[in-house]
Amino acid sequence: MAIWLTEHEHAVVAAAADRVIPPVGGHPGGGALGVADFIDSLLGAFVFDPPRIWAGGPFSGRAGGTASFDEFLPLNSLEELAWRTRIEGSKGMVERERNGAVIGWQQQYRNGIAALGRDFCDISGREQDARLNGDPAFKNLLYTHACEGAYGAPEYGGNREMRGWGAIQYQGDVQPRGYTDREVEGRE
């Protein structure tokens, strides 16, 4: 289901996600949680209209109410400028380089994935870690996005079947049900 990443790049991101958020002790890990889908949705956010930046509201439907998270909210022209610059980079456009040139996430991923090697999915975990550690800036970007994808709302493409929340005993969004007073005050 690649949106912006190639199938190969998607596979590399999924493998790398399993190194920064490994499946351990019942936690599915970043790969199975769909971190690669999440990152692909972010890099390809402007393939969609409205772009997949801000999920809708007020409710997801998981705790009652009408589901609306998957109806993404439109950006205004300045917000689009900011998010396109972040994702696509400034590409020499004057309006995107007000305070300097920006290398976008798309380019950072394309370069960072290429540097991990064509054989990244086939090597040992230890070797994968060594290659990730060779580019700390890219590893940090990937890790931040992996955390967002593993534990953000599933409408953004990750946290598949809410297993990211399940693994850490977190309920996620709870409106409009909320919590009872007893659930707030009590030990359980």
Partner 1 sequence: MTDTDCDAVVVGTGPAGATCAEVLTAAGWSVIMLEKGRNHLLSLDAPFNPLGHVSNDELKLVFRHFLGPDPWLEPRTFRSSEDDGDRIYTGDVNNLPSTVGGGGMHADGKVPRFREIDFRLASELGPVDGADVVDWPLDYDELEPYYAEAERVVGVAGDAAVNPYAAWRSGPYPMPPGPDMFCAVLTSEAATRLGYHPYRAPTAVNSVEYDGRPACNNCGFCGYFGCPIDAKGDPVAPLRHALRTGRCEIRPESYVTEVLLDETGRRARGVRYVGVDGTVHELSARHVILGAGAFETPRLLLRSEIGNSDVVGRFLMYHFQTFALGVFPFRLHAHRGRSVTHLMDDPIIPDADAQAAARGAGLPWMRGGIVEHGGASHPITEAIHLPPGEDHTRLMMASPMRDRMAAFTMQGEDLPQATNRIDLDPSVTDAWGLPAGRVTYRPHRHELVCAQHWAPRLETVMKEAGARHTFWATSPPLPEQEARRRAANPSPMSRHVMGTARMGDDPRTSVCDRWQRLHDVENVLVADSSVFPTSAGYGPTLTIVALAIRAARALADLEPLRSQRPTGS
CA distance 139 to 112: 8
- Adjacent-strand bridge partners of 61: 64
Number of residues that bind partner 1 (CB under 8 A): 65
Binding segment for partner 1 among 7-15, 105-113, 114-122, 146-154 (CB under 8 A)? 146-154
For partner 1, the binding residue among 78, 124, 126, 137 (CB under 8 A) is 78
CA distances from 68 to 12, 54, 60, 167, 169 (A): 32, 12, 5, 25, 24
Site map 103..132 versus partner 1, x via CB under 8 A:
--------------------------x---
- Adjacent-strand bridge partners of 62: 64
SS3 5: coil
For partner 1, the binding residue among 7, 49, 76, 137 (CB under 8 A) is 76
Give the dihedral of Cα atoms 76, 79, 85, 86; nearest 10 deg.
-140
Minimum Å gap between C-beta 93 and partner 1 is 13
- Record the tokens describing residue 126, joined without a space: 């230890």
Binding segment for partner 1 among 6-14, 69-77, 106-114, 116-124 (CB under 8 A)? 69-77
Q: Which of residues 41-60 bind partner 1 (CB under 8 A)?
A: 53-60
CB atoms within 10 A of CB 86: 17
For partner 1, the binding residue among 8, 23, 46, 121 (CB under 8 A) is 23
| CB closer to partner 1, 118 vs 168 | 168
Sign of dihedral through CA atoms 173, 177, 180, 183?
A: negative
List of residues contacting partner 1 (CB under 8 A): 19-27, 29, 53-60, 68-69, 73, 76-79, 81-82, 85-86, 98-99, 129, 139, 143-144, 146-148, 150-153, 156, 164-165, 167-181, 183-187
